[in-house]
Amino acid sequence: MGKLILITGGARSGKSSLGEKLAKEAGQEVLYIATAIPFDEEMESRIKKHRETRPANWETVEAYKDLDMALCDKINNKDAVLLDCITVMVSNLMLEKAMDWENISVAEIDEAEARVMVEVNKLMNIAKKSETLFILVTNELGMGIVPTSKLGRAFRDIGGRVNQLLAKEADEVYFCVSGIPMKIK
């Protein structure tokens, strides 16, 4: 099995920069998995900035689900796979099925979490089978106030459980604060 590194932290904490640095250090052949969907002008701008910072020779796959299929023939001969970011992947998976989040039942939240976990487990399975370094970037969601909306609470809780699973499986975990990475595992 290749090595798995998880990088977590708050918004604009330096997570992506650390992920890119570690991927560059691994070698020239990097597969970048972008999970964001450009749903508005601001998101398009963020995606554009991320594209501009990546080396031109990095191969990019834009996907947030069925990553086992998207990656199976692309990770051979790669030095590293960098996925940025798990949190956006979780958000996309939660919102792809139309649901009334303000009137959602506990059973429906559990169903949404199960869909997310299926995709996270697909990613973990391909990472475990590979000899390639996998670097996963995520946001640390649970350090703020309790969200007032059901959607916000469900997102925070599901994202937190995903992060716990990934951190447990990871060989190394970094927590970024104000651009300073701290190795916590």
Going by C-alpha positions, the residue among 157, 156, 158 that lies closest to residue 120 is 158
Measure the CA–CA gap between 88 and 137, rounded to whole angstroms.
10
Q: How does residue 14 score in pLDDT terms, banded at 50, 70 and 90? A: very high
What integer is the mean pLDDT of 173-182? 96
Give me the pLDDT at residue 144, please. 82
Distance of CA 88 to the CA centre of its chain: 6
pLDDT tens for residues 85-138?
Answer: 999 999 999 999 888 988 999 999 999 999 999 999 999 999 999 999 999 999
| Helices and strands: H and E segment counts in the chain | 6, 7
Positions annotated as catalytic residues are 50
pLDDT tens for residues 31-63?
Answer: 999 898 777 788 777 777 777 777 888 988 889
3-state secondary structure of 53: helix
Measure the CA–CA gap between 28 and 133, rounded to whole angstroms.
13
Measure the CA–CA gap between 41 and 120, rounded to whole angstroms.
28
Ordered by start, the domain boundaries in the chain are 4-183
CATH number of 4-183: 3.40.50.300
Give me the pLDDT at residue 19, please. 96
Q: How does residue 158 score in pLDDT terms, banded at 50, 70 and 90? A: very high
What integer is the mean pLDDT of 151-163? 96
